[in-house]
Structure 1
Amino acid sequence: MEIQLKDNLLLTYIIQQLVKERLDCDLLYQNLVSDRPQYPFVTYSFIVPEQETTGDWLGMGRQYISHLQIDCHADNAIQAMNMANDLYSAFQSSVYRNYFEQADIDPQNFTNTSDRTVRVGTYYDYRFGFDCSFLVSNGGHVYSPDDLHFQAQPETEINTVQLSDAGDSEVISANGKEKEQ
């Protein structure tokens, strides 16, 4: 049976791929009742699964915002904090934007970054995390894992631009080192 990814399952699948790539650990539903894997791992929980942005999406692909809580867990506070910082940076980075853009999902706001450690004792579960929201612009569209590609694209830098008119009679070149006057 082929896996079909749509809406919030698609969003969490993409986040899972980013977590594997960036942190090399598992992404789990926060309220999981079975045994958790060994540290470190990342959890997610939906704060608001689907908040409509408009009522007149005209059947082209429903648009909504999903709000999530993301927490990084470790048995060491510094490791949990560094994981959260690394993941936060990855969500903000244009290097990983194509993970989401290929499914018409746009990372939006990242707030409430904090230490979320709750249990005190010998087996401390150190948690650091943040809340995030994603604009889903193609809700209802079904993807298979084969439709999606997860290879981080390095940031590109444009060093030179060259423009010419239709007849190639005038050419304008600009080097990235030149300054505007």
Structure 2
Amino acid sequence: MRALLACAALCPAPLLAQVEISYHGCTDAHGAPVATLLDPALDVVVASRVDAAAARIVYNPEVLPQLGEQVRMFFYAQTCARHNLGLPLLDTLSAEQAARADCAALESLLRSGLVQPAGVAALQAALQFSAAEWLVLPGPPRDFDLAACQRRIASRPSLSAPPAGQEAWNACVRVCGEVLRACRGSACAADYERCVARCNAD
């Protein structure tokens, strides 16, 4: 998942609330772009749609207008993560699947600079919803543990800024990535994760 917003990387933070945010940059498990469309008729905050042509993400900023922009970004990133991780797009996720997508969403927002590490606690505090609100948010209704996600993200080896002695892990994960890039089928994401898990175990 790449950066999500057209403006946020360029605009100072105080201006973000004054600028209409457009969401772009999502890719699926094969690296193919996932189109994102604003749909003023949509009755939920954000969702995936699948037809004969392709899968896409649709969103409506008028649903739950009280949501802050970071919360909207989080749910867009979480929906994108379902595509990126090869999770079910139309069915309600299991608790484990939702937790994976939540952590991937946080990682994307941190990587893009749209959420700062010091702001993760504030984001989690904002992710409190009533039963009625959950009806129009990507489910299942759940509590979030973004602090645990942040700890896992910080503890993982890094391809972009590896510490000394990480070369073998880098090479192993790059092989997994090349296999994923050439893969076609519903099991590609799961195969990639098993491959990376073997790298982490070595």
Fold agreement, TM-score > 0.5: no
**TM-score bin, normalised by smaller chain:** 0.3 to 0.5
* Greater strand content: 1
Scaled by the length of structure 1, what TM-score is found?
0.32
Scaled by the length of structure 2, what TM-score is found?
0.30
Where relative contact order (Cα < 8 A, 6+ residues apart) is larger, the structure is: 1
- Quick check: which has more Rg, 1 or 2? 1
